[in-house]
Amino acid sequence: NAGVMQNPRHLVRRRGQEARLRCSPMKGHSHVYWYRQLPEEGLKFMVYLQKENIIDESGMPKERFSAEFPKEGPSILRIQQVVRGDSAAYFCASSPQEGFNEQFFGPGTRLTVL
Amino acid sequence: GESVGLHLPTLSVQEGDNSIINCAYSNSASDYFIWYKQESGKGPQFIIDIRSNMDKRQGQRVTVLLNKTVKHLSLQIAATQPGDSAVYFCAEKGQGNDMRFGAGTRLTVKP
């Protein structure tokens, strides 16, 4: 039973380019969470999605960031027109159902903006 | 050795000693807490959890203590091993959908 998968593991972009981060939840999990982690800091919640629905995006920056979790395929976190401040590790977590407290984390995508 | 979490982010202990990592949480309405371990270059890994109706929970070599009066959580690791070296985060969950993470404490175990 594979865990949460994220790709790419490392992503380098120049300022102004787009970054697409993918997350495949654990088998049977329909709830996905995205977090951002700056160096030497804790994880900051960004967005919570279920299949085809954004449930809570209160932690998502209002501009340039978007997330989706289509009926088929992985969840995508998209960052348009990246800036140096977007450089961070982005983690995805999944859980099997609403109200299930434990979240299982993927290995993260490390985004570097040059 | 002891750590006060956000105010003392690094804890160094000798192999075989017990470690205590502390965390102050913010929301008195939080009803579920988790300790995560994060090794370099990896995602957080679940260690142990506790609900707000409990004040102590034990796992294998780890114990979590919850003091709701002062909103304080601690993780005790018995007989610390080199493989325990990592950053440890406490996380709290309230009525919302997100886990709120502390800044973390880096535990270094000296052989």
Q: What is the pLDDT of residues A44-99, one digit of tens each?
A: 999 999 988 999 999 999 999 999 999 999 999 999 999 999 999 999 999 887 66
pLDDT at residue B97, as a whole number: 66
B-chain residues near A33 (CB < 8 A): 97-99
A8: helix, strand or coil? coil
- Summarised one tens digit per residue, pLDDT across range B58-103 is 999 999 999 999 999 999 999 999 999 999 999 998 766 677 888 8
pLDDT at B37 over 90: yes
Instruction: List residues of A whose CB lies inside 8 A of any B CB.
Output: 4, 33, 35, 40-45, 48, 55-56, 58-59, 91, 93, 101-108
Rounded Cα distance between B50 and A23, Å, is 28
CB A104 within 8 A of CB B52: no
- End-to-end alpha carbon distance in chain A: 36
CB B21 within 8 A of CB B3: yes
Question: How far does B58 lie from chain A, in Å, by closest CA?
Answer: 17
pLDDT at B1 over 60: no
Maximal C-alpha separation, chain B:
42
pLDDT at residue A99, as a whole number: 63
What pLDDT band is residue B105 in, cutting at 50, 70 and 90?
Answer: very high
Find where tokens 């919850």 sit. B66
Number of helical H runs and strand E runs in chain A: 0, 11
CB B90 within 8 A of CB B35: yes
* Cross-chain residue pair B49–A101, CB shorter than 8 Å: yes
CB A106 within 8 A of CB B43: yes
B1: helix, strand or coil? coil
pLDDT at residue B4, as a whole number: 34
CA proximity to B26, closest of B65, B91, B71: B71
Question: How far does B69 lie from chain A, in Å, by closest CA?
Answer: 23
Q: For the purposes of burial, counting CB atoms within 10 Å of the CB of A42, is it exposed (0-12), middle (13-18) or buried (19 or more)?
A: buried
Find where tokens 């993927």 sit. A106
- Summarised one tens digit per residue, pLDDT across range A7-31 is 999 999 999 999 999 999 999 898 9
B-chain residues near A93 (CB < 8 A): 43
Question: How far does A28 lie from chain B, in Å, by closest CA?
Answer: 19
Instruction: List residues of B whose CB lies inside 8 A of any A CB.
Output: 9, 32, 34, 36, 41-46, 49, 89, 91, 93, 96-104
Question: How far does A43 lie from chain B, in Å, by closest CA?
Answer: 6
* Cross-chain residue pair B100–A45, CB shorter than 8 Å: yes
What pLDDT band is residue B43 in, cutting at 50, 70 and 90?
Answer: very high
